[in-house]
Structure 1
């Protein structure tokens, strides 16, 4: 079941709907606390909100905005739903919908709410959503928790340029659509004033693979601000430099290798 917050709903035909688990956004707190502490994905929500604020500053009639769904599947947290709602208000987080769902039917709720990107710290949840065609990214301490004045998205180029060997999987279609929407948001800003920064990393292959991935993203209207060709080198140094809020592939983002 999903409940609406008191914030103004984004235009359903234009908004980019992102669902984040409350388990990722809020950390633990004492039982007698009125609000939860800040969690791993707290800076991510602030960065998404900052993009919306800049878009509306440029154009008060802007419709292409992030619309956030806060999803709760944890039964213990569901029993404290008023605390979740009051926590978002306490921190000034702009949440369009609060969704309290069982672990068995949370993917159905993602589909019903037209979620275009699902973010979770639970690998099993991300995998389930991906299998049903919902673009998903896995959050961990290497990503998500990095405070920044910009929303930083890192594309995994090896997945971007993966050849189609048959019918395009729904999750890949969703990835292409989402990247095109990010590109459209980018075009609302110049490079010097953008609250959205997009990076690209390729792990396999050399410069040609990176060039192919750059070309593919540009064909979707995405401007890449920073590109890295790792040639099977470790991820860690690049993540510490770019500090993305999440990694996007054509399945769900993980940081193997």
Structure 2
């Protein structure tokens, strides 16, 4: 059973054009912590900077065009039974911090994937690898949130170029169509801004292969409607130095990959 509660303090997004991003409440709030003012609200979790960055993209899009409908529609999903019992605290915490969250889903662990599918979630973000893998296997594009998240106000998305040019000899991952669709939407958002002072930055990294593989991945992304801001061909070199420098908010691939892998 899934309970959906709308956030009446936030204007609801256009369901036909918005990009629905679901984030687990355990990633947004620290269950065992309170805010520094001692109020009855949760402390800030690992995904907090991400939500602020998503919100900043929306604000800039609306500054450019007040009638813009291509916006991030952020929803929070609670699958933890203890947090579900404290639903009012989750909602009050969201409002306390001024987070632009449209809706709250309170779901059992068994039903959370169904709630993602029913609500047309285009990207699911969790700090729990098992949750992310379960959603990905059902066709929902998913990414892991790590402790080393970017703190920048600019939303930084990293794409795995190796997945883009992966040979089609084997069966395609269930979430590949979702990844392609999300890439196109992300590219359309990025085109709303100029080359400088964009609130959204997209980086592609290929871990294996040579420069030709990197070029092939770039061409494939452009065919999907996505032009990246930066591209790095590592040719087998460790990925950690680039990650430490760029500090993306999350890494997108057909499969679930941690920034720490």
TM-score of the superposed pair, with normalisation by structure 2: 0.93
Gap runs ≥5 in structure 2: none
- Can you give the 5+ residue segments of structure 1 that lack an aligned partner in the other structure? none
After superposition, the CA RMSD in angstroms is 1.6
Distance apart, 1:168 and its partner CA: 4.5
- Contact 1:136-1:253 at 8 Å conserved across structures: no
Contact 2:46–2:146 at 8 Å: present in 1 too? yes
Q: Aligned-pair distance for 1:256? A: 6.0
Output the CA distance in 2 between the equivalents of 1:92 and 1:184.
27
Q: Which residue of 2 aligns with 1:37?
A: 43
Q: Distance in 2 between matches of 1:168 and 1:232?
A: 23
CA distance in 2, matches of 1:167, 1:146: 33
Counterpart residue number, 2:140 = 134
The answer (yes or no) to whether the contact 2:164–2:220 under 8 Å persists in 1 is yes
1:227 matched to 2:231: yes
Counterpart mapping for 1:22-171 below 5 A: 22-27=25-30, 28-30=32-34, 33-142=39-148, 145-165=149-169, 168-171=172-175
Partner of 1:2: 4
| Residues 18 and 119 in structure 1, CA contact (< 8 A), matched pair in contact too | yes
Task: Tell me the distance in 2 between the aligned counterparts of 1:75 and 1:19.
Answer: 18
1:252 aligns to 2:256 (yes or no): yes
**Deviation per residue, 1:31-70 (Å, 9 max, x gap):** 9841111110100000000000000000000000000110
Q: Distance in 1 between matches of 2:150 and 2:259?
A: 16
CA-to-aligned-CA distance 1:174-219 (integer Å, 9 cap, x gap): 0000000000001111111311100011111111111111111111
